[in-house]
Each structure stands twice: as structure tokens, then as C-alpha cells.
């Protein structure tokens, strides 16, 4: 049995959300209502930070450094890490916290995301939010962990560093992060069709080239 090698398990490509799907999901939410603004803040932070569900639910108000554009989260193995957020996530978080977030009923558990009554949100409650949005938007495959995959892939496709991504996601090994590289590379290739420098350069317009006539000093090869 020594010469035999164990079969390799097939590695599936990571599934991510498209821009159109994200737009359809966010369009189902009303940021002028308490529940709508809260749900939009959760999803935007999800897509912009790659947090795990447990990390988002466990995020406390004191650890949300919104003005400095970062969150301090408690990850697996009770390890704290710093997770940056962009300006859009910053704005929607500020809107939720300052205008719609209720007072917490428990001073020792002052979480960012609360129910309308001021109680901590459970993971089941968040999953129900995602299920409702999946039905309403028509993006039936929408679920919480898909946001983490989408963040990681887009981060790399936009030029992010794989080592920084490892730290942001809280992975101890690069192996868990490398699976996003293939998907990100494919997305970059697709984007090149839209943003190819030569295709979009107005100064150089090549007309259809005529086939060269034989003779006239032309050579084959």
C-alpha cells in the first residue's frame, strides 16, 4: 500500500455575487426605515469586510471604529484582528447607529446590530433576513457566507494583496485563501474585455486590414 497515493478530492470553484445581483438585493431594502437600514448596513459590511456570521453578530459598539474605518473583531480561537471597511460601509453604519439603532437592553452586551426591541440579533434571525432577501430579489442562491466569498474574490480582482487578504479573513494558512485567486483571475480577464487599453484608445483606430496580395515582395512565413 505504500506506493499508492490517496485520491485528491475535487476542488470546487468559489461562487460569488455579480454586480447586478448585489444591486438587486440592496434595492429591496429601504434605508429610511429602522429594519431596512440595519439590514443594509449588515449586508454592506459583510460584502466590504468578509466577516464571518458569528463575527458580525458578535461585533460590539466599542469595537466599531467607524471614523477610523476599521472594525476590531473576535475570530476563531479567540483571536482578535483588525478589519478595514470602506467609505460606503462607514456611511451606512453611521446612519444606522446614529439614526435607527435602538438602545441596548443589556449594557454588558452592547452589540452593534440589534432587534427593533434592543435585543442582540441571533444567527437564525440574520439567516431569515437573507432568506427573505433571496426570495424578494430573485437571487435565490443568496446566503451569508456568499458575501464572504464575494468580498475575497473582489478584493483580489481589484488588486488587493493576498497576504493582506489572509489577515483580513483571519485564516492561519494561505491555502484557504488561494482558492479565491483562480476566480479573481477569471474576473480580471473578463474585465479586461471592457477596459482593454487598445480597445478603448480613441487615438488609434485600426480599420479592417485587407489581405495582402501575393507578390509585391511579400513573403510567407
Percent of the chain with pLDDT over 90: 49
Please tell me the distance from the alpha carbon of residue 52 to that of residue 41, in angstroms, as a whole number: 15
Return the DSSP state at 107.
G
Answering whether pTM is above 0.85, one says no
pLDDT reading at 204 higher than 70? no
- 196-211: average pLDDT: 52
**Is a pLDDT exceeding 50 seen at residue 203?**
no
Tell me if 7 is assigned to some domain.
no
Residue 4's pLDDT is 64
Tell me whether residue 6 is in a domain. Answer: no
Is 176 domain-assigned? no
Give a yes or no: residue 167 inside a domain. Answer: no
Query: Which residues are identified as catalytic?
Result: 52, 76, 145, 148, 171, 180
CB contact at 8 A, 163 and 173: no
Are 174 and 166 in contact by the 8 Å Cβ rule? The answer is yes
Q: What DSSP state is assigned to residue 114?
A: B
Q: How many domains does the chain have?
A: 1
Tens digit of pLDDT for each residue in 153-187? 888 888 888 888 888 888 877 777 877 776 666 66
Do 41 and 147 contact (CB within 8 A), yes or no? Answer: no
Residues 6+ apart with CB under 8 A from 82: 70, 71, 72
Coil, helix or strand for 175? helix
Does the residue 165 lie in any domain?
no
Q: Indicate whether 92 belongs to any domain.
A: yes
pLDDT interval class at 195 (50, 70, 90):
low
pLDDT digit string, tens, across residues 4-51: 666 554 455 567 899 999 999 999 999 999 999 999 999 999 999 999
Q: Is the distance from CB of 70 to CB of 85 less than 8 angstroms? A: yes
User: For 63-104, how does the pLDDT look when each residue is reduced to its tens digit (9 = 90+)?
Assistant: 999 999 999 998 787 788 999 999 999 999 999 999 999 999
Nine cell digits for residue 132: 427573505
Contact between 59 and 101 under an 8 Å Cβ cutoff? The reply is: no
Three-point CA angle 7, 13, 19, nearest 5°:
175
Residue 59 backbone dihedrals phi, psi, to 5 degrees: -70, 120
Residue 42 falls within a domain, yes or no? Answer: yes
Q: Which residue range(s) make up the domain with 128?
A: 19-144
State residue 176's pLDDT score. 73
pLDDT, mean over the chain:
82
CA 154 to chain centre: 6
Strand ranges, E, within the chain: 64-65, 70-74, 80-84
Among all chains, which residue has been given the C-alpha cell 492561519? 172
In a domain, 162, yes or no: no
CATH of residue 58 = 1.10.443.10
82 beta partners:
72
CA angle in degrees (0–180, nearest 5) for 130-88-69: 105
Contact 121, 114 (CB under 8 A): yes
Amino acid at each position: 500500500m505504500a506506493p499508492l497515493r490517496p485520491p485528491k478530492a475535487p476542488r470546487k470553484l468559489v461562487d460569488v455575487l455579480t454586480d447586478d445581483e448585489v444591486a438587486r438585493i440592496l434595492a429591496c431594502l429601504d434605508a429610511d426605515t429602522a429594519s431596512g437600514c440595519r439590514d443594509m448596513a449588515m449586508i454592506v459590511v459583510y460584502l466590504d469586510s468578509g466577516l464571518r456570521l458569528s463575527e458580525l453578530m458578535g461585533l460590539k459598539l466599542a469595537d466599531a471604529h467607524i471614523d477610523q474605518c476599521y472594525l476590531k473583531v473576535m475570530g476563531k480561537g479567540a483571536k482578535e484582528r483588525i478589519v478595514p471597511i470602506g467609505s460606503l460601509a462607514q456611511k451606512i453604519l453611521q446612519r444606522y447607529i446614529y439614526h435607527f439603532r435602538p438602545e441596548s437592553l443589556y449594557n454588558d452586551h452592547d452589540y452593534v446590530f440589534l432587534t427593533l426591541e434592543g435585543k442582540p440579533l441571533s444567527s437564525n434571525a440574520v439567516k431569515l433576513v437573507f432568506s427573505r432577501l433571496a426570495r424578494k430579489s430573485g437571487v435565490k442562491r443568496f446566503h451569508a457566507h456568499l458575501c464572504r466569498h464575494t468580498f475575497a474574490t473582489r478584493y483580489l480582482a481589484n488588486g488587493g494583496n493576498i497576504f493582506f487578504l489572509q489577515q483580513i479573513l483571519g485564516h492561519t494558512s494561505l491555502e484557504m485563501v488561494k482558492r479565491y485567486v483562480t476566480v479573481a483571475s477569471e474576473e480580471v480577464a473578463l474585465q479586461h474585455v471592457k477596459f482593454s487599453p487598445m480597445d478603448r484608445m480613441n487615438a488609434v483606430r485600426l480599420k479592417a486590414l485587407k489581405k495582402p496580395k501575393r507578390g509585391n515582395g511579400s513573403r510567407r512565413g
